[in-house]
Structures are given as structure tokens and as C-alpha cells.
Structure 1
Amino acid sequence: MRSSIVLGLLGSVVVLVALFELLRRHRIREKYAVLWFVVALGVITLAVFPSLLTGVAELIGVEVPANLLFFAASLVLLLITLQHSYELGRLEEKTRVLAEEVALLRLEISSPAPQRGPDPADPGDGPERPGA
């Protein structure tokens, strides 16, 4: 077996084992696990069938198949980074809103409630009206 095949298979197996361990310990969410599972399967496929990468590179017009592999890997990492940035922004906004709500609730709890007299517009608080 060629060393590149062994290295690809070994790397993919390590990723899959780490992935299942992270899932088991609830350290990674399922939607990210699916993404990394697909990446690991892609690496296994390319390790077992290296001619597939060569064929795709020829089809696209890339002279060196490794360049196509590096481009695809860079693209995957870029998309993952963009998705994480989107989620981080969303979570920062939720955190800000929750912090504001907690601050308002703390202010409401810590400040003494003003004493109010009967509301003249509320018919239930005043004396009973005759004829009502």
C-alpha cells in the first residue's frame, strides 16, 4: 500500500474516532458532527481512490491534483469559518438582549415599589357609586 493511502486512511480514522468521542461526551453538536463526518468520508474516498482526484483535476483543468485538494480544503474551512461567524454574531446579539433584560429585572426588583393611592379612573378601587 502506498504511504499516501495509509496516511489518508489513518487521518480519517483518527478524525472519526475523535468525532464519535466528542459526540458521546456531548462536546460537539450533531450538525457539526455531520459536517466533519462528510469531510472524513471524503478523505477516505480520496485515499482509497486517488485516481478520482486526478480525474476531477483533469476534468476541471487543474494541472496538479494536490492543488485542487488544497483549494477544496481551503474552501471547506472558509465555509465553516463563515458559518461559525454567523452563529457567533447571532449568539452575541442574544446575549446582549438577555443581559439587558436581566438588568431591567434586577432594577425592578431592587428599587422599592412606589406607593400608590386608589386610581380614580379604576371603578373597582373607589367607593361604590349609587345607581351602578
Structure 2
Amino acid sequence: MKAYHLGLIGAAIALLVIFEMLRRRRMREKYAITWVVLAVFIVLIAAFPGILTWAADLTGVEVPANLLFFGASLLLLAMNVQLSSEVSRLEDKVRTLAEELGLQRLRIEQVEHVEKSGAAEHEPAHDGTSGDVS
């Protein structure tokens, strides 16, 4: 089996996994687009290996595989930074929502306390005697 066959099989499997994750709503579309573009790029490189050789000649890299690994490393770094940014943003959002929830619970408890104490003031006092005259 030649290397480009392996690339085509890997890209096909990646596309199937991505579409299945989308179908099951395990991945959002904004992330899937990146992976689909990457899989299509892998298909192009696997189907037309001359593209990688041409790009290596253009950039002055002697071994085309080195250019591929360098590009993949940069892509992984960029995706890691982007996902770290997304996680940080979501952590801030969760913290803010937790604080708002805590404040809402405090307000509810204060309202319930005021209602309880207001209801206790309006109840008649019980002194142990009944109002009936026998």
C-alpha cells in the first residue's frame, strides 16, 4: 500500500467521524468546518503528492515530509491556542452565571424570610385559652 492510499483512507475515516459527530450533535459546526477543511487538504495531498513537492520547492524545504510535519505542528499549535481561548471564555461565563445564580438564591431567601416574618406578625397570638365561653 502506498503512502497516498493511506492518506486517502485516513482522510475518509476522519470525514466519516466528523459527520457522525455532527449528526449526533457531539461537535459544533464551527469546529467541524476546520476539521473538514483539514481532511480535504489531506485528500488533496494524498491524491496529488506533487502539490507537497511543489510547496517544498517553493519554500526551500529539501524534504517535503518536513514541510508537512512543520505545517501540521503549526496547525495543531493554532488549534490548541484557539481551544484554550474558548475554554477560558467559557470558564468566565460559567463563573459569572454561578455568581448570578448565587445572588438570585440570596434574593429569594430574603424575600421568603420577609414573607415569613410578615405572616408571623399578622397571625393571632395563642395564649392557651380558647375564645369559647362555657
TM bin, normalised by shorter chain, reads: 0.7 to 0.9
| Residues 49-101 of structure 1 deviation map (CA, whole Å, 9 limit, x = unaligned) | 11110111011000111010001111111111111111111111111111111
Aligned match of 1:97: 96
Query: What pairs with 1:45-124 in structure 2 (closer than 5 Å)?
Result: 45-111=44-110, 112-113=113-114
Aligned match of 2:38: 39
Measured in 1, the distance between the counterparts of 2:47 and 2:14 equals 16
Q: Segments of 4+ in structure 1 off by > 4 A?
A: none
Structure 1 runs not aligned, ≥5 long: 117-132
Measured in 2, the distance between the counterparts of 1:81 and 1:113 equals 51
Structure showing the higher helix proportion among its residues: 2
Measured in 2, the distance between the counterparts of 1:100 and 1:40 equals 41
Measured in 2, the distance between the counterparts of 1:59 and 1:97 equals 49
Q: Rg larger in 1 or in 2?
A: 2
Structure 2 runs not aligned, ≥5 long: 119-134
| Residues 96-116 of structure 1 deviation map (CA, whole Å, 9 limit, x = unaligned) | 111111111111112323879
| Residues 27-55 of structure 1 deviation map (CA, whole Å, 9 limit, x = unaligned) | 10001111000000000000011111011
Identical pairs, percent:
50
TM-score (norm 1): 0.83
Give the aligned CA root-mean-square deviation in angstroms. 1.5
Measured in 2, the distance between the counterparts of 1:7 and 1:49 equals 13
